[in-house]
Chain A
């Protein structure tokens, strides 16, 4: 057995446990472990919190409980197989992860994606953004104590999952966006189903708003809670609705458009209060904007191919495979050994429901990726968590955590 990496790991701190409690004010300081199985983290996150009375004086997130080595595994798969792994990074924004990976590899391959495929991608990612925001909204309200919202949100989420299933055959791990286009063309009758959902959805958003907007407990628990100054957010790499609720209109869909987002008419909602309440408002407005985008995609969906004309990358039709020699050879080559991607490195960014996803991909010219680094929004956002909750009351931690909308699988990869 190789001995290359049996290193003496002297740089590792002996343990993560906090220092012995010392207090300047003389108050008794207590260390509390929140998690790793606390229900409000919706995953496996441990936060070591030092308390003085009910005030948090120090907080330290401890992550890694869901680390599955996805980046390492990517290096052992062919380029197209990696798509299924990107699904599993973030179970609520799997289409955003598919999309950023596909865009990055297509940039390396320099293949042109047909307009229909681009529009299908936009429509599907926006549907999954609605899905993600609905799950966030339901669970966030549940954490704060408003139970009903959860049932309403999951009612609509079910409709979205049915649409995703109709398009891709899967409810959650869709792998719908592939290198070179989409997995399948839109199914027969899709317009009717999507239109029915999207026509009814704006009134549903109003309904959610009605549930909470005049609820005094909700307002008391969210307004003015979880404040972080904008410059600290930029310093710590926080992105997404959190940053937009602080007043900076940073949205990759608008600033650096990809997949023909520049052809859609939508606004980037921002607020300036920078608290839990304004983050909720920003996400609600984003749902309205996403609805608009889906509607435009539905009405203007171009005809044409749903996959690029790139026989060395995209699998041929079943019909052609049975009649044409070249198609059969390409099929055999792609399935058995995958396709080669030119040497190079790219950094592709898309806007996921949680913020900026950036994939840094290095190719050495073989049929497998040399290195894939996933800059996931939850990872950078949780890093800024102590800045948000230090100095707050412990009960506000739940509201502040919820307003970040992280997915722990996305954090740990």
Chain B
């Protein structure tokens, strides 16, 4: 359900008209529109945004780790742009923390934009979020045999390997 306060914004209202049940929240702050959606519906929402509502460009995909929160620990953030009005919109999907054996999973946006490929590989590398149906999910910035996901908040800045504190 779209929050009442957001109904005045055409972009938010248009999405609500198509996929109101997938929306879990949203806000308008610093002149930027953010819409929270259900992670299970993310591909359907992105397809609607791209095909029906004119958000034809994917600017970036990234992730935020809200450690130590377990419910909704990872927020996958999509920034879209409309190349005829040059407006931007932010779509967010929250994922639970998972465990070392069972990493959090979400569907890959490569089904909608092929260009999500490397951004999602980067998130997998840095946060350990698995993208289902990704064509080539492997580490991109860290070495292939690296253990751990460095941008997680419980990963120390100096890493585990070279910690001088533990000596």
Residues of A within 8 A of B (CB): 1-2, 4-9, 11-13, 15-16, 63-64, 67, 69, 71-73, 75-76, 107-108, 110, 234-237, 248, 250, 255-256, 344-347, 349, 356, 358, 360, 362, 370-371, 373, 375, 379-380, 383-384, 412-413
A358 contact from B34, B56, B59, B145, Cβ within 8 A:
B59
Across the interface, which residues of B come within 8 angstroms of A375, CB to CB? 59-60, 62, 79
Q: Is the CB of A360 within 8 A of B115?
A: no
Q: Is the CB of B60 within 8 A of A64?
A: no
Taking CB atoms and an 8 Å cut-off, the chain B residues in 99-158 that contact chain A are: 100-101, 103, 113-115, 117-118, 124, 126, 128, 130, 136-152, 154-157
* CA distance in complex: A106, B114 (Å): 33
Q: A5-B100, A347-B59 are in contact. List 17 more A-B contacts (CB 8 A).
A: A1-B160, A1-B163, A2-B160, A5-B149, A9-B146, A11-B103, A11-B124, A13-B138, A63-B141, A72-B150, A107-B30, A235-B113, A235-B115, A344-B30, A360-B79, A375-B60, A383-B117
**Cβ distance B54 to chain A, nearest Cβ, rounded Å:** 13
A69 contact from B62, B115, B150, B152, Cβ within 8 A:
B150
Q: Is the CB of B103 within 8 A of A15?
A: no
Q: Is the CB of A236 within 8 A of B114?
A: yes
Q: Is the CB of B152 within 8 A of A373?
A: no
Give 4 nearest A-B pairs by CB, closest first: A375-B60, A237-B115, A5-B148, A255-B86
14 contacts between A and B (CB under 8 A): A1-B160, A7-B147, A11-B130, A11-B138, A12-B138, A64-B143, A67-B142, A71-B126, A76-B157, A108-B30, A237-B58, A237-B59, A347-B88, A360-B60
Q: Is the CB of B62 within 8 A of A379?
A: no
Across the interface, which residues of B come within 8 angstroms of A4, CB to CB? 100, 154-155
Q: Is the CB of B100 within 8 A of A7?
A: yes
Across the interface, which residues of B come within 8 angstroms of A71, CB to CB? 126, 151
Chain B: interface residue total (CB-CB under 8 A) = 54
Q: Is the CB of B138 within 8 A of A5?
A: no
Across the interface, which residues of A come within 8 angstroms of B144, CB to CB? 12-13, 15-16
Across the interface, which residues of B come within 8 angstroms of A360, CB to CB? 60, 62, 77, 79
Q: Is the CB of A358 within 8 A of B141?
A: no
Flag whether B47 is at the interface (Cβ < 8 A): no
Q: Is the CB of B117 within 8 A of A373?
A: no
Across the interface, which residues of B come within 8 angstroms of A356, CB to CB? 59
Residue of A nearest to B90 (CB): A347
Residue of B nearest to A376 (CB): B60
Q: Is the CB of A236 within 8 A of B115?
A: yes
Across the interface, which residues of B come within 8 angstroms of A344, CB to CB? 29-30
Across the interface, which residues of B come within 8 angstroms of A379, CB to CB? 118
* CA distance in complex: A236, B109 (Å): 12
Q: Is the CB of A248 within 8 A of B83?
A: yes
Across the interface, which residues of A come within 8 angstroms of B155, CB to CB? 4-5, 72
* CA distance in complex: A63, B139 (Å): 10
Q: Is the CB of B148 within 8 A of A347?
A: no
A72 contact from B58, B79, B157, B160, Cβ within 8 A:
B157
B147 contact from A6, A13, A412, Cβ within 8 A:
A6
Across the interface, which residues of B come within 8 angstroms of A237, CB to CB? 57-60, 113, 115
Most buried by A among B59, B60, B124, B146: B60
* CA distance in complex: A379, B125 (Å): 15
Across the interface, which residues of B come within 8 angstroms of A15, CB to CB? 144
Residue of A nearest to B136 (CB): A13
Flag whether B32 is at the interface (Cβ < 8 A): yes
* CA distance in complex: A349, B139 (Å): 26
Q: Is the CB of A64 within 8 A of B140?
A: yes
Residue of B nearest to A7 (CB): B100
Flag whether B16 is at the interface (Cβ < 8 A): no
**Cβ distance B164 to chain A, nearest Cβ, rounded Å:** 12
Q: Is the CB of A73 within 8 A of B59?
A: no
Given contacts A234-B57, A373-B60, A375-B60, contact A12 B139 (CB under 8 A): yes
Interface string of B40-69 (1 = CB under 8 A from A): 000000000000000011111010110000
Flag whether B8 is at the interface (Cβ < 8 A): no
**Cβ distance B65 to chain A, nearest Cβ, rounded Å:** 8
* CA distance in complex: A255, B85 (Å): 8
Q: Is the CB of A1 within 8 A of B166?
A: yes
* CA distance in complex: A76, B158 (Å): 11
Across the interface, which residues of B come within 8 angstroms of A380, CB to CB? 60, 115, 118
Across the interface, which residues of B come within 8 angstroms of A234, CB to CB? 56-57, 83
